[in-house]
Amino acid sequence: MTGQNSQNMKKGMFPYVLLLAIGLSIMFFYSMTSGTNKELTYNEFNNALSKNNVEEVVITPSTSAYTYQITGKLKDAKEGETFSVKTPLSDTVINKIVAASEEKDFKIVSKSDPSSNAWITFLLNIAPTLLLIGLAFWFFTKQLNGQKGSMDFGRSKAKLDPDKGKVTFKDVAGLPEEKEELQELIDFLKNPKKFTKLGARIPKGVLLVGPPGTGKTLLAKAVAGEANAPFYFISGSDFVELYVGVGASRVRDMFKQAKQNAPCLIFIDEIDAVGRQRGTGIGGGHDEREQTLNQLLTEMDGFGANEGIIIIAATNRPDVLDPALLRPGRFDRQVTVALPEQKAREEILKVHARNKVLSKGVHLDNIAKRTVGFSGADLENLLNEAALLAVRREKSAITMSEIDEAIDRVIMGPAKVTKKYTAKEKKLVAYHEAGHAVLGIKLDDANDVQKVTIIPRGQAGGYNLMLPKEEKYTATKTELLEQIMGLLGGRVSEEVVFGEVTTGAHNDFEKATKIARSMVTEYGMSSLGPIQLETPEGSSFLGRDYNKNRNFSDQVALEIDNEVRKIINDCYSKAKKIIEKNRDLLDLIANTLIEYETLTKEQIDYLAENGKMPDDDMLEDVSLSKLKEMAKEKGIKGYSSMNKDEIKKALTEELTIKPDKND
């Protein structure tokens, strides 16, 4: 628990502690001031009067109960002991007490009826009720609005960013084109006359589209930071409430606040929560979400002018947004924030490595090469996991061993080192993973095996990190076929070596079949011709593509299945020929895996070329030209001007050392 939370808890408990202290004080006061009280019957009181045993009498009438409350002290009573008795409200009782007083000579005190005092009546009867009602109202409002104490359902939940100006484009790495698209917004917020002078109208809304973790929210905060303008942020789900009309009221209030601070930015995160396409409800769509969306559309480009207000929204599902939200005049511009490429990943890693202690052998450009498909959030998590591992291993700096393990953790989860294979099962897994490695080495366009291990991770018994040799936007038919062959390498190896197959290739088949079916139905890479036969159909409710449009007959469906089967079978046959031709290499990699359990790309390449695992002097017999080629591939700067020993030293630092089994 942080210090701030502790202080808040103390503040919240203070009223209850104070009330408890007051109650205990009152109880203590009454216990100290009140002595022992003895209840007498009317007859016992008369006997005390006749025996001259009464020392003092206090008479208090109660007209509401039609009784006298008589208290006093007896002569034979103990110290501090009193008596009390209730008698009928009649003159006979009073006359008897007065007569006894004249005869026995004891003191009589008469008090007025307390019910005749309006203030006392109020305190005793009305004040407790009002106190209970007040406490109930206080608890109710506190539950609804925290510490605010007011029922402001219709007030906007948009918050003003307290870190105004702290996040700038310097903190956003790897998005040069996206920054350029948003630079106009910054210029407008700083100098709007520059645009209005030429009749230009700045976009009213910018929609940031991209996969999760690519930096959409960070980019919006950087725009506000660069412009040094007020920045309101809210989530799409904060508009929608249980009560009908609340969301629309919050939209109006949000724009009202923004107008008072114009020029400013409003950032709506996950806008698809409120901006989904209308008219998809069953039995009508006049619900709270649609009313909120209608109000948002009106505020963005309705009859009222919202000058100086720019809206930035983010979503990873632009396909489900209402068309009216995307038309010009509302969200005029869409900026796609895609997954970063290699250079962008390196820049992102540099940003997140500012506060990390890295060893000299860690080069961020090499890590960027090995993290194809990672988002900015994944890269941040990668370095954080590596730092945690370094602390766990009690190291003074993060090494490539921790980076390597962190990559595996992000992709597949932690290694299950306690899970033990049988000797037969370990050999099966080793040959399965070695089959992938052999095809990755022998096929030019297959995915490159970066790492192979037979240590279980997640749901997998073994793990093969296969990445494209180059990052490209398109793929040729040959490349797709060789990718399928690489995926089938594990099953082929099992069949060739053991003459039987296992269940370990089910995920490989899933990926291979998906590629083959896309080749037939989407890419036109089969004998059916260049025809798109299937298109994904998204569901605006489910948010996923659970079905596809079928633009073909049952006869064509059969032909599609035959074509997919033909592609898979042909790739399987070719992969089998390659495995059988390179059986020696397969045995070498598999046996090495059984011994070492984990092999990196450098070790696999060296093993294929030299027939043995590299050791400390593995670079002794390599020529200078080969060393420079290896240095170029590893991205070592200045390798062209280095001599042989310098390149060896740089490469030795770069090679990933297999971690100790105790780590």
Strand pairing category for 205-209 and 333-336? parallel
Cα–Cα nearest to 361, from 614, 636, 643, 602: 636
Strands 534-537 and 547-550: antiparallel
Structure tokens at 122: 């109020």
The DSSP bridge pattern shows strands 159-160 and 231-235 to be antiparallel
- Enter the tokens of residue 111: 């008090």
Q: What is the largest CA-CA distance in the chain?
A: 136
Sheet order of strands, 598-600 included: 463-467, 448-453, 598-600
Question: Could you give the angle at the alpha carbon of 228 between the alpha carbons of 234 and 375, nearest 5°?
Answer: 55
What is the rounded CA–CA span in Å between residue 342 and residue 532?
32
231, β-bridge pairs: 265
| Res 7: pLDDT | 54
Angle at which helices 477-498 and 583-596 pack, to 10 degrees? 70
3-class DSSP string for 68-80: EEEEEEECCCCCC
**DSSP conformation letters of 383-399:** HHHHHHHHHHTT-SSB-
Contacts of 413 (CB under 8 A, 6+ apart): 457, 458
Q: Residues near 527 by Cβ (< 8 Å), separated by ≥ 6? A: 563
Peptide bond into 323 cis (omega under 30): no
- The CA radius of gyration of the chain, in Å to the nearest whole number, is 41
What local confidence, expressed as pLDDT, does residue 24 receive?
66
CA-nearest of 466, 476, 470 to 435 is 466
Catalytic annotation present for 79: no
Structure tokens at 192: 């709007």
The two structure tokens encoding residue 220: 């919006």
Return the bridge partners of 164, or none: none
Q: Please, are residues 153 and 242 in contact by the beta-carbon 8 Å criterion? A: no
Q: Write down the pLDDT at residue 4.
A: 46
pLDDT of residue 198: 78
Count of residues making up the chain:
663
Distance CA 5, CA 522 (A): 56
d(CA 223, CA 180): 11
Find residue 268's DSSP bridge partners: 234, 313
Q: Which DSSP letter does residue 192 get? A: T
- 379, 345 Cβ separation under 8 angstroms: yes
Query: What is the H or E stretch that residue 61 is in?
Result: strand 54-62
φ, ψ for residue 476, nearest 5 deg? -85, 170
End-to-end distance of the chain based on CA atoms, in angstroms? 31
- Cβ atoms of 67 and 24 within 8 Å: the answer is no
pLDDT of the residue at 514: 92
Question: Rounded to an integer, what distance in angstroms lies between the CA atom of residue 88 and that of residue 68?
Answer: 6
Task: Enumerate the β-bridge partners of residue 623.
Answer: none
Packing angle, helices 583-596 and 554-581, rounded to 10: 80
Note the pLDDT of residue 18: 63
Which residues of the chain, if any, have pLDDT below 70?
A: 1-35, 62-66, 80, 89, 110-125, 127, 139-165, 236-247, 279-288, 302-307, 415-419, 446, 458-461, 469, 536-551, 615-628, 634-635, 637-646, 648-649, 651-663
* C-alpha to C-alpha distance for 42 and 48, rounded to whole angstroms: 10
pLDDT, position 328:
81
Burial of 171 (0-12, 13-18, 19+ CB in 10 A): middle
Q: Which of 226, 385, 433, 602 is catalytic?
A: 433
Give the separation between CA 495 and CA 504, rounded to whole angstroms. Answer: 12
Q: What's the pLDDT at 149?
A: 38
